[in-house]
A and B are shown apart, each in its own frame.
Chain A
């Protein structure tokens, strides 16, 4: 299983862009990269998923370099409500359905 490494914590201010990087040197050819957001006392919630290059949705962007050994979640113009733990997940739904590894999570604190 691809092991992931993320910063333990990050601080930001409202209105700033936040970039959280995840390292996954042993990513497999068939693995996707997925990011989840978790608020206190709630289950993780899907944010974005990608395989290579750049993916953008209404919430975030995901940048994946050509070698796919890392990925960067970009949150534009964060607000206080974006304070949460962000998890990077590498894996895929293959014949061993759902083998994947969550990173240890990055606690993002957005300050006013």
Chain B
């Protein structure tokens, strides 16, 4: 069984459109993340949710809106897509811990191409 899954795997769309990427984890983790990886392979965190509550919102345009309907799902909705949004988007999850040690499990990624 896939631990962290994302749909779709590929997404090609035109500028100005609105699109969503879905993420689900079956690991029972409390924390989920969205990362953006650009063409230079830089991996930047966008959002982090802990038990459906937004914890981290890095400098991301408000066209990006995460939604967490439950602890196992974290979806990413993008409005008014721009060329610069083209990238691979990774979802990840990690277990909550009373301490600080943790490990993130990543999904396979969604390659978004905006034309």
Q: Do A and B come from one complex?
A: yes
Q: A-side interface residues toward B, CB under 8 Å?
A: 30-32, 34, 36, 38, 41-46, 49, 51, 85, 87, 92-94, 96-102, 104-105, 107
15 contacts between A and B (CB under 8 A): A41-B108, A42-B109, A43-B4, A43-B90, A43-B92, A43-B108, A44-B106, A46-B104, A49-B103, A87-B43, A97-B31, A97-B48, A98-B31, A98-B48, A105-B41
Pick the contact of A94 from B35, B100, B103 — CB < 8 Å?
B100
**Judging by beta carbons under 8 Å apart, are B101 and A45 in contact?**
no
**Judging by beta carbons under 8 Å apart, are B48 and A51 in contact?**
no
Number of interface residues of B (CB under 8 A): 30
Sample of 15 further A-B pairs with CB below 8 A, known A92-B100, A93-B31, A93-B99: A34-B104, A41-B108, A43-B106, A43-B108, A44-B90, A45-B106, A49-B101, A49-B103, A51-B101, A87-B43, A93-B97, A97-B55, A98-B31, A98-B45, A102-B42
